[in-house]
Amino acid sequence: MASTNNKNSQYEYKLQVAGNQYMDHFTLYKNSTVPDRTLYAGNGLIMPRMGRDVLSNNSCDVESFLFGVGSTNLVNPMAPITPQINHINSLNICKRGELIMPQPNWFDETDIQRPLIYRQ
């Protein structure tokens, strides 16, 4: 018996294949998850999600050292790790004003504020 449902039509099949190819293109597109330029959040921004390869060049070695992977290997002891940290600049979208501190005044001294109270 032939199916008369729309799911089995050739047009519907082509739509599903095109949708799957679009999703594959989006999920396999490198810049959808890793930006081409990474900056720390500056003034007025929230810190973005950063991958481990952005922060250092040998992130897997550093993580293995911190977790102690291979620390009990007596046959091939682990060599000391020197992290290769990447220098990342900050992105500021607004200027931070200069901090203005008030000048000290004569009210800061506690002895002269209430001269007649608690004097013996």
DSSP symbols for the chain: -----GGGSHHHHHHHHHHHHHHHHHHH-GGGTS-SS--EE-TT-PPPP--HHHHBTTHHHHHHHHHTTTTT-SSSPPPPP---BPP--EE-SSPPPPP-PPPP-GGG-TTTTSTTTT--
Note the pLDDT tens digit of each residue in 54-103: 889 999 999 999 998 888 888 988 888 999 999 999 888 888 888 888 77
Q: What is the pLDDT of residue 57?
A: 92
Lowest-confidence segment of 3-7, 38-42, 72-76, 92-96 by average pLDDT: 3-7
Q: What is the pLDDT of residue 119?
A: 55
pTM, entire model: 0.48
